[in-house]
Amino acid sequence: MRRVLVLFATSVLLWALIAQLNHALTDLRVYLWCGSLFVLYAALMLPLGAGFAVSLLGGLLCDASAPVAFGTHTLLFATAHAVIFHLRDNLPREDTVGRIVIALLANLGLFLVFSFIQIGRSPAPAAVWPSLLADLVGSQVFVVLVAPWFFALQHHALLLARAERPTLA
């Protein structure tokens, strides 16, 4: 249970950081979406139950502040968690570069699914795609820049809370 609470606390920190950054970027009309970061560490490193709980809580957190149908993020994060968890034995989970690549692919998939779900609510769906492309590029760049820090934050938060044993590098 301690792992779930610690990783949820780091997710709250990430959520607040992204919210503040998106607020600062409103004049540029760019929106950063980094759903994969809420799921990836839990899906790659934790047992199924604890990791799934972290992903669900992250989805609920994102749903609470988003102008979408409640449960959209939760369902997407749960699906992403299940896919990544199922594939994790074949993925480079201990390597930071490998985690970043997985985060980029997961973020791309989540962004596209989320966009297709929400595009129908737009009065002019075709006119939204250039903006979505800019958001996707910005989000992917942000994931590359923030992912190493966030993975280290999660790992060190677990160590500080004595929810994980230190590993020798």
d(CA 119, CA 104): 22
C-alpha distances in Å from residue 128, one per residue of 36, 63, 124, 125, 159: 22, 22, 7, 5, 43
Using an 8 Å Cβ cutoff, are 11 and 54 in contact?
yes
Q: What is the pLDDT of residue 168?
A: 46
CA-based nearest residue to 11, from 71, 43, 55: 55
Q: Which residues of the chain have pLDDT under 50?
A: 168-169
Q: What is the pLDDT of residue 131?
A: 84
pTM of the model: 0.86
Percent of the chain with pLDDT over 90: 59
Q: Which amino acid is at 164?
A: E
Q: What is the pLDDT of residue 129?
A: 81
